[in-house]
Each structure stands twice: as C-alpha cells, then as structure tokens.
Chains A and B, each alone.
Chain A
C-alpha cells in the first residue's frame, strides 16, 4: 500500500492546482489567522510582562504601540480576530447544528457582518489614542 505520496510538499505540487471553493478558502484563512493570533498572544504576554519591571518600562512599550506602524498592525489584528471569531461560529454551526447544508450562505453572511464590524472598529480605533501614563 503506497498511500498518498506527498507530505508537506503538497501545496507546491499538484494540489495547488485544485480549485478553491468557499470552504477551502475559509479553512485556509482560518488556519492563517489562527497562527497570526498565536503570534499576537506571544507579543501581548511579552509586553504585559513589562508591568513587572515598573511603570517606566511598561510605558516605553506602550509608547511603541502608538506609532503609526503599530496602528496599522492593530487594525490588521482586529480584522484577523474578527474573521477567526466569525468563521469559528460557522464551524460550530457545521459541527453541532447541521450548518453543513448552508455553510456557504453562512460564510458570506458572517463575512458581511464582519465587514460592518470591521469598519466600525477601525473608525473607533483611528479616533482614539492609547491613554499614556495611567
């Protein structure tokens, strides 16, 4: 029994020629955003850990987060978490509530909700700065 020949090389060989359907796009994006959120949590714990070294140390890190680059990063992070959360609801529905029958409608419906929440969130974020020296 030879089984399936390709392992990690798969995405670079024949399999990337497979047509992308809604479910596959949602799955791939869910994986990528999941990795993104794990990276964020590591950075988050690292920055919170500065609280142990005093107020100045923490404020230095927080000042870094007010730079334009991190502002953009914050918006990307918000979008990432929003997608992961909404698609997570879709996966729960598929697993527990028979959502497999209407998963495409569910996906695009939730994404529409996501776009609205994203715009509201971005608008809010751009109109306020992180309070300093609290």
Chain B
C-alpha cells in the first residue's frame, strides 16, 4: 500500500527553523514505522536522521512522536493507523539536535537526581542473593519494565511547562527503588521527590500512561509515591 509520511526535519547547519517534508513510499501493512524510516533512509534520502538500535522495543532509542503521540517507532505497525497518512516528529519538550534526534541530557540529569541505583550497605547474605518474597516483588514488577525511552516525559504537559519538573520517568524510577524491599535509601529519595518540582508537580493528566510503550501506569505509581510521602510525613 502507498503511504505518505510527513516528517519534521531540521538540520542545524543548514536550516533556520524546522520544516515538514513529505515522503511517499510503498509499504507493507505489517511494516514497523521504523521499517518505513529505514526504507526512506536507505532508498530515498540518506540524510534523514533518527536513533535506532535493537528495533524490537527493548533499547528504547527510537522514541518519537507519531500522529500526535509519543511512542516507539519499532512498536507501531503501519496497519495500527487507520489512514495511510503519518505525521512523524521528534519528541516534544526536548531540544532537537537534528531531524528526529533530540537531546536527552536534561532527561538523564533529572533521572540521576533520584539516585536510580541500588543502595544497601548491609553485607549480602553469604550463601544466597538478597531474597524478596513474591509479594515484595509484586510491588515493583510493573515499574521495573521501564526502558527509559522518554515517551512519558516528552508527552507530559507539566514537563513541557516546567523545565525543572523531574518528569514521569524519573518519578517512576524513584518509586521503583523506594518500593524495593532490598533498598535502604528510601528516606533520601522521598526527600528528593517531595518537592513542588517532584511528585507534586504531576497533575494526573495521564498522557504518560497513554504514551508508555511498555504499558506502565505511570500516574498510578506517582500517586503511590505521594501516598508514601504522605504516610511518612504524618
């Protein structure tokens, strides 16, 4: 089938501002959106720039805005969209480097703020790993699925408006470690997210839930984070 892709292009060395470029291609309905972009890059215009790595929804590097919604280009098929027209843009709210490639520095800076690593100075048991019960694991099972693609943070109006807002991805990561029974730095992380630019900046708009390619209910985790802050303060 013939499809048209309107792609938002920008080359900082040549263009003063971004512009739309249409590409008409013959694509199979079972092609991934990433396959369409690869087809354009290989056969039509080698200057088209975008990130990709695994192409199977694991690495999270090809997040972009397709038909008005942040998503992974490798997880959406041509047939997922009714009309044969596609509008492809870089992730909103991030500075554009070139074409569909955006600068993730601000995203990872915010992630680092919530100490996204395991903290526990107690010596591990000599004969086994640190054991979790199924109930304890259940608490973090959904949040560990995050692949840090940036779809949620890029879709969040609160993050668009407030450059300092930690954003859904960082808050989800904070929850992941705070709720982990093996971690010992929950208090410190709670102090970090208990801020007007932390958990309280979320206005439950649910764009992050709609955008998440791993189907994580991020808003629910932020709500749980707030309840945790709430229970510790009282």
Contacts and interface: CB of A to CB of B under 8 A. Distances in A.
Nearest to B69: A19
B80 interface: no
B105 to A, nearest CB: 6
Interface string B49-71: 00000000000000001011100
Contact of A5 (B65, B95, B203): B95
Contacts of B210: 21, 23
Interface of B is mostly: mixed
Interface stretch (B37-45, B154-162, B186-194): B154-162
Interface stretch (A10-18, A55-63, A67-75, A121-129): A10-18
B89 A17 contact: yes
Interface in A44-98: 91, 94-96, 98
Interface string B178-211: 0000000000000000000000000111110110
Contacts of A19: 67-69
A24 B105 contact: no
Nearest to B221: A100
Contacts of B11: none
Nearest to B103: A2
Interface string B124-159: 000000000000000000000000000000010101
Interface size class of B (residues with CB under 8 A): 35 or more
Contact of B94 (A4, A22, A24, A95): A4
Given A17-B68, A27-B204, A4 B163 contact: yes
B69 A2 contact: no
A95 B207 contact: no
Given A95-B226, A100-B209, A103-B206, A18 B69 contact: yes
A91 B69 contact: no
B106 interface: yes
A23 B207 contact: yes
Contact of A24 (B67, B205, B227): B205
List the 3 closest A-B pairs by CB distance, nearest first.
A23-B206, A100-B220, A19-B68
Interface of A: 1-8, 10, 14-15, 17-19, 21-24, 27, 91, 94-96, 98, 100-101, 103
